[in-house]
Structure 1
C-alpha cells in the first residue's frame, strides 16, 4: 500500500467516524426536542382545560361539599342544566386529556406531577356519575378511568426526576 492510499484510507475513516458522531448528536438533539415539545403540549393543554375543572369543582363543592356524589345528588345534577353541562364538559375534557396521555401524545409523568392528585380527587368525587354513564355506554370515560388507576398505582410522597428531559 502506498503512502497516498494509506492517507486516503485514514482520511476516509476519520470522516466516517466524524459523520457517525454528528449523526448521533443530531439524533440526541431531535429526541430532546421531541420530549420538550411533548411536555410543552401537556402543559398547554392542562392550562387550557383547568378553568373548566375549577368551575365544575367550585360549583359542586358549593352545593354538596367535597365528598363523592350520592345518587340523590346525581338526580339534582340531572335537573340542573347548567350543572349537568359543567360536569359533562369537565369529564369530556378530562377524557380527551386521558386519551392523549394513554396514547403517548402527552407526557404522563408531567401531568402526574402537575395535577395527579386533583385528577384522582375529581374521579373519586364523580365516580357515581361515571359508573352510571358506563351502564348505558360501557366505554364512557374509560380512558380517564385508566389514567386515574395508573396514577393511583404510582402515588408517591415526593416528586422524582423521571419527568425531566432525559436527552438534553
Structure 2
C-alpha cells in the first residue's frame, strides 16, 4: 500500500458486495426472462430435451431478478425499506405478468406457426426488457437523488440539450 492510496473500509467492501449481488441477481432475472420468452410461446423446444416443466422456476427468477434490479436503482434510495421492497416486488410482478400476457396472446394467434412464434416471442421479450430498462434509466435520470448520474446513450432516448425550469439538464 502506498501513501497515496486510501485504505479500504468495511463499508466500502459491503457496498461492493451489495453491488455485486445486485448485478448477479439482475443478470439471473434477465436470463430467466430470456428462457421464459421462448418457453412460454413454444414449450415443445424444451420438451425435446427433458420432460421437466421449468416455468415455475423461471417465473420465480424473473420476479426475483427484476425486483432486485428495481430495488437497487438510485431513484428508489430515498424510499423507506419496507415500501422500497413492496414497490420493487409489485413493479417486477406487473412487468413480468404483462410480459406473460403478451406471450399468451402471441401463442393464441400464431400457434400453428411454431418457428415464427418462437422468433416473435424472443424478439418481443427482448424489446420489452430493453424498454423496461430504458424506463428505469429515465426515472433515475430525472430523479433528484443522484445529480451525478451518468448518461447511458444505449438507454437514453430524450435529447440532452433540453433545459428544465430549474436551469439544469433534467430531462
TM-score, structure 2 as length reference = 0.32
Question: Bigger relative contact order, structure 1 or 2, given CA contacts below 8 A and separation 6+?
Answer: 1
Give the structure with the higher percent helix.
1
TM-score, structure 1 as length reference = 0.33
Higher alpha-carbon Rg? 1
